[in-house]
Amino acid sequence: MQNVAQILAGAVVLGLPWAPALAQAAPSEAASLTIGGSVERPLRLQMTDLKKMPHVRVDVKDHDGSAATYEGVLLAELLKSAGAVTGEKMRGANMASYLLAEAKDGYRVVFALAELDPGFTDSQVIVAFARNGKPLAEGQGPLRIIAPQDKRPARWIRMLAKIEVVKVP
């Protein structure tokens, strides 16, 4: 697993604009997210790392029907940073690749890699760290996947801890 400094070398090579800001990230925070599996650069990101990346906001209706604005990083951007298959490489056998997201409590959900790729969809699935301008509440965060297009929030995984990219043989 690579640390933030190792990731930066690859991020700069890829021309990712947030890479210099990420160099200032502090690696020691309790909240972290690991991204591994079939990726070129496994990552372990701290909350400060995520907050230095480009943010997006999505307006949704929560499970109880209340309106909420979540803020976070596009999951597609995180996958690109880790070197997952995206863009023009997303064809043929790679179309069977998927992402397995796991919460601290063991809850798991699956997304097809293609449904997260901006070349295939306008979907804005995010790894959220804030709701209505405040950090996620205990039991919801510190990180959560929000998939605004899903009709039911069953894949809006709370307490997100790990993402694994799986390439089906």
pLDDT digits (tens, 9 = 90+) for 44-57: 999 999 999 999 99
Across the chain, what does the average pLDDT equal? 85
Residue 56: the pLDDT is 96
Find the distance separating the first CA and the last CA of the chain, reported in whole Å. Answer: 23
Residue 20: the pLDDT is 44
Listed in sequence order, the residues at least 6 apart from 165 whose beta carbon sits closer than 8 Å to its beta carbon are: 35, 36, 37, 38, 39, 79, 82, 84, 85, 97, 98, 99, 113
Max intra-chain CA distance, the chain: 44
Q: Does the CA dihedral 21-157-38-125 come out positive or negative?
A: negative
pTM of the model: 0.80
